[in-house]
Amino acid sequence: MSHNQLNSILANKNPRLAIMLAVLWPGLDYFYLGAILSGSIRTLGSVFLMLSIVIDGHLFLLPAVLIIWIRGLTSSSKRTEKYNNPVAKAMRLKKSHPVEEVHFPSEEKQKVILEWLKSGNI
């Protein structure tokens, strides 16, 4: 794992920026917090609803757009706090670097390492 990848996993996100992105368009704050699938669904859903309202005149869909937008605004700060939580960071780190990728030395190498440690030549 590169240094940049590790920094992006462990870096704190700014709740104000997340809220500002949510104000601009529903779903942008999800992208900022790394939830690409959720952000895509909300962004594309909002685009579809807005096009239905503007092009086809389906004004009855306007409350759905407003609910999605307001819900995103009210939850953006909480989702950012959860993202910045140390336990959440540990889970993201574990997910990005599974235990299966860790290679332990063979038994022979382990014996050599143990003998070297016991010899005191550190």
CA 110 remoteness from chain centre: 37
Predicted structure pTM score: 0.66
Q: Is residue 17 very low, low, confident or very high in pLDDT (cuts 50, 70, 90)?
A: very high
Nearest to 31 by CA among 20, 23, 43: 43
CB atoms within 10 A of CB 88: 12
Tokens at residue 51, please? Answer: 């096009």
- Cβ-contact 39, 30 below 8 angstroms: yes
Output the six-digit token pair for 77: 């700060």
Confidence label for 30 from pLDDT (cuts 50, 70 and 90): very high
Residue ranges per domain, the chain?
Answer: 3-119
Look at the alpha carbons of 22, 23, 28, 32 in this order and tell me if their dihedral is positive or negative.
negative
What are 84-115's pLDDT values in tens digits? Answer: 887 777 777 777 665 555 455 677 777 777 77
CA count, 13 A, side-chain hemisphere, 76: 28
